[in-house]
A and B are shown apart, each in its own frame.
Chain A
Amino acid sequence: MNAFLSWSILLAPITAAVLIGLFTKQNSKLSSKLSIGAIGFSFLMTLLLAAVNSGTPEIPVTSSVTWLEVGGLKVELGMIIDPLSMMMLLVVTGVGTAIHIFSLGYMKDDPSLGRYFGFLSLFTFSMLGIVLASNFFQMFIFWELVGVSSYLLIGFWFERKPAAAACQKAFIVNRLGDFGFLIGIILIWSITGSLDFGEISGAFTENPALLGASTAIAGLLIFCGVLGKSAQFPLHVWLPDAMEGPTPVSALIHAATMVAAGVYLLCRTLFLFELPTSWPEDFAWLNGVSSLHIVALIGAITSIMAALIATRQDDIKRILAYSTLSQLGYMVMAVGLGGAAAGMFHLTTHAFFKALLFLGAGSVIYAAHHEQDIWKLGGLRKKMPVTFWTFLIGTLALCGAPPFSGFYSKEEVLLAAYQSNVVLFVLAAITAVLTTFYMFRLVFVAFGGSAKSESADHAHESPSVMTTPLVFLAVLSVVGGWLGIGGYFGHFFDHGAVHHGHHENQTVVMFIGIGAIIFGFFPAFFMYHGAESDPLKKGLGGIGEFLKNRMLIDEAYQWFISRTHEALARLADWIDRWILAGFLVKGIQFTGEFTGRALRLAQTGNTQTYALLFGLGLAVALFVILL
């Protein structure tokens, strides 16, 4: 029963994708029905699966078929159903269904709607594959598939140059992360001889020092995959550019699911990070630093950096993208500090409210005829009430205002930080202030005041096919914190660090959290309420420009890559052209030709001369051999 349910959850979207790709691509209506039907089916099956397993949530249910077996390399396609994957399944299929339906309205006029829904289904399949994966290899397969379906969706409007550039960037940056990920997998496999999560963690329980000196390295290599997919510093550069894709795609992939895959992987392979750390001799100076410390540090850097950049962005989607980065940094930091349950909890609630915010942004963009600059919007509060109120709910949830879902999950993340590392806690608190600041800046400028352009002036509320998913997600964003998701994860990671006993800590953290909201809200209110242009532009000067240009990280990459790979490519091409193909080959050719020209003199063209020479040669040969 479990096996059947989980396989049908996984296979429904790919069936839809294949059917659309082969037969119904031209027929938008049928394609969208197939795709929405498939994810709806998966959602129902997930609910059923959850109901069936509600009594015994701790026992992982697995089922597998052998996909590849050669010598010591055995790869299975398996299914893991445990609380971790169960909740992710619910998020992916639930939020996914809402976004699929929203797309129906948002993409209504696109001529390639069939292709769009085909890609969406392909993405859903890949994402579900990651969630259900029972081993490293399967994880990697679906990891790559998620990468490519994200590539296809970001580049959906490929005839636009920025979209074509953005999808390429996303794919290649993800590949950089996968590079480490794959090496990590091979390394772990070569030592443990297995790829299965269960078997490997079992082997570690028996012998924690199994990986020897490469323990920390292996963990960090796997973490490279997380860096790519969850867009952590320094591989975060693809996510803001990925906003070139259709907005529902940004909601699905770049807010709720794909970027969460990294955090999910981190939790799934937590057994690897919890091993006693040891470094190879060359890295002995790192002794005492565990791989989890590095994970937490990267998470904190990402969260504060992205929050800083977000304060100086003007594109509604880019603000949300940087906010996503910042929140992902939170989750990674929480996992790194031992609060895996807090991280997963925040992932879940974040999926709700960030998908809501993106869809809300989509609704705005749709109404304002694809105007994304917040300084050209404005006054939408009255014109689009449903969008405004749901967006506000999303904002409050994101800022962590009580009693919205974000409040509970963010508090757990902050608590995890407070209990283990004060420096990181301070960073996280500053991030929380900044989060409130830039989100209310967005709300005041885009929704408040008066319309700042014609397209904003003519905006009106989106159709119900778009507002219904908004309301659905808004409800989830409100109640998400009360459903006991946190406790659910806390129970699963029973060795995790969420101890609800520390009431004192909890109270301190709660006050700091609420204080952060207040510190963020009032500056935003005074600066941006009714503002017509950005006062920060002059106020911050050079720093502002620096932030606006995304801390020049893209430029640094550009510089670095053009200095290394481009240069090597030039060199190799030059050698190929002039040394191998030119000098050597031409040289041989020249020698041959020269010899040929010399010998040509012996050719009279007269057959009889040849015959005479032939006869003489024969005579000489006979003379030598016979005498």
Chain B
Amino acid sequence: MSVLTTIIMLPLIGALTLLFVPSRHKTVVRMIACSVTFLSMLLAALTFFEFNASDGAGYRNEQITPWVESLGIQYHVGVDGINIALMLMAAVVGYSATLVAKSITTRSKEFHVLLLIMIGGVLGAFASLDLFFFYFFHELALIPTFIMIGFWGRGENRNYITFKVTLYLSLGALIALVGLVMLYVKAGAGSFDIVEITKAVQANPISLADQNMIFPLLLFGFGILVSLWPFHTWAPMGYGAAPTATAMVHAGALKKFGLYGLIRIALPILPDAAAYWAHIIAWLCLGNLLYCGWVAMRQKNLNLVIGNSSVAHMGFVFLGISSLSLIGVTGAITVMVAHGFLAALTFGLTGYLADRGKSLELDQMGGILKSMPAIGSFLVLALMAGCGLPGFANFVGEAMVLFGSWSSFSMITIFGVWAGLVIGAVYMLRALRRALHGPLASNYEGVADASGIGAKAPYLILIVFLTLFGVFPRMLTDKISPAVESSLDLMKSTTSLTVAEKLNTDSADQTSEAPLAAESNSRGNLAESPQLESTQG
């Protein structure tokens, strides 16, 4: 059995065990939850630091257990440089969130069960190399999210927000599912295994028309999950209403699922469509970078500022992916990892304040740095990391994205630099000044600071990893870049012609197969032939 299975199963088994613990034993519940996530994090860290990128680009720690052979579904886990980094991030965020979950008082056992299922699901989704399990684990993590926001969430219009988040995310997942099933059918490998599909596609690429049909489904499906502009409005609100631990795991880890899916599946299997759609992604990411940055500038609530900034940061990831270059994509993954730690940190800290019944409206805040030095300093660090300060992993990732995307999209890169350096600084410092500086707000008199190592631990762990990878980025990039390189090589070898050439030949061969006509064409196929349809009409 692979160590990855252990990492995934630990939280899930923990959840199962909790079901048999009477809910009045709150300490036992806490102990079990914390110890399984801690072990899971420990194993993930060991696997990460043992991972030796110089051994080649293939998958490590693989485990293949057939499940439904007739459909080609098998439990297949394995890691390369890309997902081991994400797994480490998810495991650390999971542990930190479990520590923070201490503040849940009503129905704490049920909350912990759901939280552990969520963490197990996230870890599973990142480890899976089989489309079925990849999706299954994501849903496993997603459904508890809705319940947790609905039941333990805060704020008055919690119900509305729960509906909104559920609808958005279910819709996104559904669209992605359609794309994945289509991919499974069109690849013709008779297997859900990503490795098998990749091989099959290399021998026999999916036709351009099909690629151009599947890719947008994946892009927008995953895009909704990642709050790609203009499908982002669920995110800031949702994180504002979610209980602290849920927001941490979702914003930190689960949200990266869609991006991971794009990098792992869409790029190597649908290379032509990826090249074709890269421009659209690049333009959309401006929506995240600039538009959401501006929106963040106008927010009056700390959580909404952070929520919008988190959406804005996703723009860097999309920009990196759209560059289709080694530096850009490696940078995108670095941003994903860094943002995971950062988002968990910021939502954990604002949650600390909100859980004490305090308003996060900026005009009712002030002077927290003086009265709560520990939480205040952590928040300063987090906001500084958020505006791209060197020394934190975000800076490395964002810089790599900008360097990588320059040759493909210079103009957009300039806007990206503007968004990252100037707009980011404006809204982060504005929030910092309102919330932390100045005289102490009456609302915050007598709020206790986090004292003792136990209360600070969840934030410290995240800060340690954020700075560790910020100061020694090679710990991360040396593992990621070989995997990205091999993935981009796959992409190049799968596409024999450049996109432009392919477009030309296709339109010359059969005019109806041009990519933009793909949709109408497919409808034609369903009705056997266009003539038939017209005669019926």
Contacts and interface: CB of A to CB of B under 8 A. Distances in A.
Whether A and B touch (Cβ < 8 Å) is answered with: yes
Interface of A: 66-73, 137, 140-142, 144-145, 148, 155, 158-159, 161, 163-165, 168, 171-172, 175-176, 178-179, 182-183, 186-187, 189-190, 565-566, 568-573, 575-576, 580-581, 585, 589
Contacts of B326: 70-71
B426 A70 contact: no
Contacts of A178: 421
A403 B414 CA distance: 50
Interface in B185-203: none
Given A145-B390, A581-B233, A565 B473 contact: no
Given A164-B438, A179-B422, A186-B413, A73 B400 contact: yes
B438 A182 contact: no
B430 A69 contact: no
Contacts, number: 131
Contact of B433 (A168, A175, A186, A187): A168
B42 interface: no
Contacts of A142: 390
Contacts of B384: 148
Closest A-B pairs by Cβ, 10 of them: A164-B437, A572-B294, A71-B326, A573-B298, A569-B294, A158-B437, A141-B390, A569-B297, A581-B233, A175-B425
Interface in B57-105: none
A359 to B, nearest CB: 27
Interface string B419-446: 0011101100110110011111000000
B387 to A, nearest CB: 8
24 contacts: A68-B396, A70-B327, A70-B330, A70-B477, A71-B485, A72-B327, A73-B404, A140-B390, A158-B369, A164-B438, A165-B433, A168-B433, A171-B425, A172-B422, A178-B421, A186-B402, A186-B403, A186-B417, A565-B423, A570-B298, A571-B294, A572-B291, A576-B233, A576-B291
Contacts of A175: 421-422, 425
Interface string B154-192: 000000000110000000000000000000000000000
Contacts of A144: 388-390, 395
A172 B426 contact: yes
Contacts of A68: 396, 400, 473-474, 477
Interface centre among A66, A73, A580 (most CB of B within 10 A): A73
A20 to B, nearest CB: 13
Nearest to B402: A186
B233 A580 contact: yes
Contacts of A165: 433
A625 B473 CA distance: 63
Nearest to B168: A585
Given A178-B421, A190-B406, A565 B426 contact: yes
Contacts of A573: 294-295, 298-299
Contacts of B426: 172, 565
A565 B297 contact: yes
Contacts of A141: 390, 395
Given A172-B426, A178-B421, 5 more contacts: A66-B474, A71-B330, A145-B389, A175-B421, A565-B297
A148 B389 contact: yes
Contacts of B370: 158-159
Interface centre among A72, A137, A165 (most CB of B within 10 A): A72
A117 B370 CA distance: 17
A568 B295 CA distance: 9
B436 A158 contact: yes
A148 B330 CA distance: 27
Contacts of B330: 70-71
A187 B413 CA distance: 11
Nearest to B471: A67
Contacts of B439: 159, 161
Contacts of B425: 171-172, 175
B131 to A, nearest CB: 29
B417 A159 contact: no
B252 interface: no
B295 A572 contact: yes
Contacts of B396: 68
B272 to A, nearest CB: 22
Contact of A73 (B327, B389, B421, B433): B327
Contacts of A565: 294, 297, 423, 426
A585 B164 contact: yes
A164 B433 contact: yes
Contacts of B485: 71
Interface in B510-534: none
A277 B285 CA distance: 35
A179 B418 contact: yes
Interface in B427-467: 429-430, 432-433, 436-440
Contacts of A145: 389-391
A272 B488 CA distance: 35
Contact of B407 (A69, A190, A571): A190
A145 B389 CA distance: 7
Given A70-B481, A158-B369, A175-B422, A189 B403 contact: yes
Contacts of B477: 68-70
A183 B164 CA distance: 39
Interface centre among B292, B294, B432 (most CB of A within 10 A): B294
A76 to B, nearest CB: 11
B325 interface: yes
Nearest to B229: A580
B406 A186 contact: yes
Interface centre among B414, B423, B425 (most CB of A within 10 A): B425
A82 B425 CA distance: 35
Contacts of A186: 402-403, 406, 413, 417
Contacts of B388: 144
B230 interface: yes
A155 B376 CA distance: 14
B438 A158 contact: yes
B400 A70 contact: yes
Nearest to B230: A580
A178 B164 CA distance: 39
A159 B292 CA distance: 30
A195 to B, nearest CB: 9
Interface in B132-167: 163-164
Contacts of B422: 172, 175-176, 179
A290 B165 CA distance: 56
B367 interface: yes
B418 to A, nearest CB: 6
B474 A168 contact: no
A316 to B, nearest CB: 25
Contacts of B432: 168
A203 B297 CA distance: 43
A69 B233 contact: no
A445 to B, nearest CB: 33
A474 B485 CA distance: 59
Contacts of B295: 569, 572-573, 576
Contacts of A566: 297
Interface in B469-485: 473-474, 477-478, 481, 485
A282 to B, nearest CB: 14
Given A72-B327, A175-B425, A182-B402, A585 B298 contact: no
A168 B429 contact: yes
A535 B477 CA distance: 65
A151 B209 CA distance: 54
A135 B121 CA distance: 44
Nearest to A68: B473
A585 B233 CA distance: 9
A161 B434 CA distance: 10
B416 to A, nearest CB: 10
A178 B421 CA distance: 7
Contacts of A580: 230, 232-233
A176 B421 CA distance: 8
A175 B390 CA distance: 13
Contact of B429 (A172, A179, A576): A172
